[in-house]
Amino acid sequence: MKSSRALLLLLLFVAVAFGAWKFFSSRGPGAADHLTVYYTKLDGTTLGRWPVSLRTQQSGESDIEHLHNMVLYAAVQAVAGPPSDVSAIRFPPGTHVLGVNVHGSTATVDLSKDVTSQGGGSFGETGEFKGLVYTVTGVPTIQAVQVTIEGSTVATLPGGHLELDTPLRRSDF
C-alpha cells in the first residue's frame, strides 16, 4: 500500500515537473507581442518610447534564433528612430544596422560607418546610443550592447566622446 502511494506521489511529481518545464520552455526568451523602442528626447536626457509589434516565437524557431531575431529587430528599430514627426535625437542620416550577434547577455550591434558623421558634440552621441542601449536591453536576457562599426571595435567615434570599446549598459546613462 505504502509503495503504491509512493509510486503515485512520484508520478504526480514527475507530471507536475514536466508540466512546469513545458510551460516555461514554451515561453521562450520572448513571449511578448510587442517591443518597446526608446529614443532620447531633445532635452538630451529623458527617454520617450513607443511600442512596435513583434512576432511571437514560431514553431521550429529555436530560443537562440528567436533571441537573435528580437535583438536584430530591436536594433534596427532603435537606429531608425521614432516616426519623423516625433522630436528625437536621431542617428546621423544613413546610419543602419549591418548585423547583430548575441553572446550570453551581450548583444553586438554592427553599425554602418554613417554613424561617424556626427554633429560633433556629446549631446548627439549620448542621446543616440542611450536610445539604442535601452531598446536592445529591453530584449529579455540582454544586459549590455557592444557597438562595432563596419565590423570593427572602436574606442570612440572619430573626434568623439563616448567610450565604445566596452559594452554599454543602461547604467552608463
Partner 1 sequence: MLLAAASARASTATYLFDGRPLALTHVSHAAGAAAVGINDPGLRSLVRSLGAVITWHPGERYVLITTGAAQVISFSVGDRGYDVGPLSATAEFAPYLVGSEVYLPLADLLRSLSLAPRSDGNATVLQREITSIDVRGSAQQAILVARGAGSLSPRVASESGDTIVYAFDGFGSTLEGSRPVDAGGVRSMQVRVTGSVRNPRTLVTLTLQPGTRHDPPRSNDGDFEVAFGGGGSAPPLLAGGASAPVAAAPVATMTPVAEPTPPFASASPPDGTNASAAPAGTTIATVGGVSVQNGSDGATVTIPVVGNAQFAWHRLRAPDNRFWIDVQNAHLADGPLDQPEPDPLISVRVRQIDPQTVRVALSVAGSKNISVSPSATGIAISVGTQEVADGPHFGSGSVGTLVSSNEPQALVTPVPPDEYGQNDAGATWKFGPHSTYVPTRPKLIVIDPGHGGGDVGTTRNGVTEASLTLDMAKRLQAILVARGWQVQLTRETDVDVKRTTQSAQEAISDGYRSTDAQDLQARDDIANNAGARLFVSIHVNSFINSGPSGTTTYFSKPDDVPLAQAVQHDLAATLGTKDDGTIKSKLYVTLHANMPAVLVETAFLSNPDDYAKLNSADWRQRVAESIADGIDQYAKQYPVPSANQ
Site for partner 1 in 46-75 (CB under 8 A): 46-53, 55, 58, 60-61, 65-66, 68-69, 72-73
Of the residues 77, 108, 135, 137, which one makes contact with partner 1 according to CB under 8 A: 77
Three-class SS state of 169: coil
Three-class SS state of 161: coil
Residue type, 68: H
Q: Mind spelling out the 3-state secondary structure of 115-145? A: HHCCCCCHHHHHHHHHHHHHHHCCCCCCCEE
Of the residues 28, 29, 88, 144, which one makes contact with partner 1 according to CB under 8 A: 88
Of the residues 6, 8, 82, 115, which one makes contact with partner 1 according to CB under 8 A: 82
Three-class SS state of 55: coil
Output the smallest distance, CB 74 to partner 1, in A: 10
Cell readout for 40 is 532620447
Q: Would you count residue 109 as binding partner 1 (CB under 8 A)? A: no
Cell readout for 81 is 528612430
Q: Would you count residue 154 as binding partner 1 (CB under 8 A)? A: yes
Residue among 105 and 153 whose Cβ is closer to partner 1? 153
- Is-contact 74 28, C-beta < 8 A? no
Q: Would you count residue 113 as binding partner 1 (CB under 8 A)? A: no
Of the residues 2, 5, 104, 119, which one makes contact with partner 1 according to CB under 8 A: 119
